[in-house]
Amino acid sequence: MFMDLYHKFLAAPEHFVTVYVIPFVIVLSVLVFVHEWGHYIVARMCGVKVETFSIGFGKEIFGWTNKAGTRWKISWLPFGGYVQMFGDMDPSSARHEDEDKTPLTEEEKKVAFYSQPIGKRSAIVAAGPTVNFIFAIFILTGLYTFVGQPYTPPVVGKLMVGSPADKAGIRPDDKILYLDDTKIYRFQDMVQFVSVNLDKPIVIRLVHSIGKDAWSKKVVTMRVTPALIHEKDRFGFESERGQLGIYAPPKGSAMKKHTLVSAFIAANEDVWGIARDTLKAIWQMIDGTRSTDELGGILRIGAYAGDFAQQGIISLISFAALLSVNLGLINFLPVPMLDGGHLAFYAMEKIRGKPPGERFQEYALRVGLTFILGIMLFSTWNDMIQLKIISYVKHHIF
């Protein structure tokens, strides 16, 4: 796949940039803006002065300063962003006045981040990832209201011969009601549930068809273990998923229109379903059930962003919602340098009655930074291997 992309780039670099690079930068910049705006707006509501709001890192390309004194800017490296608040000096957002040659005045302390109560600091920090969830719900609600939600009834079309579902006695026209304790509303729900379940047994409750008449149907419960499938997508990225061997009904998928209320409910269900499945996949990588080869980085996100962009704006918006949920979820992890790490420091401060010691904060920051950089390097290495960039370099250079 790397060679295909490489030749496309050589043949028409402007087309490659338009298809892959620009959609990726746009989606990432929007999500970063949303995340940082969450921090910003809650900080302003709490009376904290915000000095800088930056999309990207590094040297400023252009910017402006508003009446509140905040410098809004776009910087060269479009892979993130930050909000710098007055008095925000260290990983626990606690400033040490004894190290400052010019102590803050009482008026400055009122607008300094470090001097705010724990509740306000926690609200400001939690606002970023929280708004990522809200944003995903918002755009999915809009899609489901004005465009519709992809919908296929949770009915068995046909079965793969010899598959776990076939062996368990599931038959065409059976209607899936529950997988474990999860209510199944759409065929898509079943696919997603089974995919992240890998090869763990599932308790399936369904309406079993034993004849064509209505009275020949009955509700049955069975225990089925999905098959573990290893597959590659068109880019060469590897993944594992569970498979029951059930095909969708022949009528296929339709777009189900919603009222604003039902769209909001459906969007919430989808967002929390994404979060649940993401956490489950992360835990599976930790306990060894799922291969860490699935951990993708910036190259994988860029490839998928370009792929969804080629499918149309609706697909790209749906991808942005998925990415927004994952961005919010990751930032809630209790890792120093992430928002969840700050919240962990505040929890310790609440319990102890004072912030953690400086040395502890310093070591925690180093560990957190090392962890994040390690994950970034490992995921990028995964992407380069699966795109066959590494093998290409070895073959043509070494």
DSSP codes of every residue in 238-261: EEEEEE--BPPPTT--EEE---HH
How many residues can be counted in the chain? 398
Among 398, 385, 272, 347, CA closest to 2: 385
Catalytic residue among 14, 36, 60, 358: 36
DSSP three-state, residue 281? helix
Tokens of 188: 């898509």
Which residue, chain included where needed, has tokens 């892979």? 79
Among 273, 282, 275, 381, CA closest to 335: 282
Tokens of 107: 């008026």
Strand 254-256 to 149-151 pairing: antiparallel
Tokens of 178: 């529950």
User: What's the distance, Cα to Cα, between the start and end of the chain in Å?
Assistant: 20
Known catalytic residue: 36? Answer: yes
What span, in angstroms and rounded, lies between the C-alpha atoms of 50 and 57? 17
Instruction: Encode burial over 230-247: b for 16+ CB neighbours within 10 A, e otherwise.
Output: eeeeebebbbbbbbbbbe
Residue 387 near residue 299 (C-beta atoms within 8 A):
yes
| Cα dihedral sign, 393-291-282-133 | positive
Residue 209 near residue 217 (C-beta atoms within 8 A):
yes
Q: What are the residues whose beta carbons fall under 8 Å from the beta carbon of 357, sequence distance 6 or more?
A: none
DSSP 3-state percent helix, strand, coil across the chain (nearest 5): 55, 20, 25
What span, in angstroms and rounded, lies between the C-alpha atoms of 111 and 90? 17
Which residue, chain included where needed, has tokens 């880019």? 235
Angle between helices 2-11 and 389-396 (to 10 degrees): 70
What span, in angstroms and rounded, lies between the C-alpha atoms of 354 and 236? 50
Query: What does residue 234 show for φ and ψ, rounded to 5 degrees?
Result: -70, -20
- Residues designated catalytic: 36
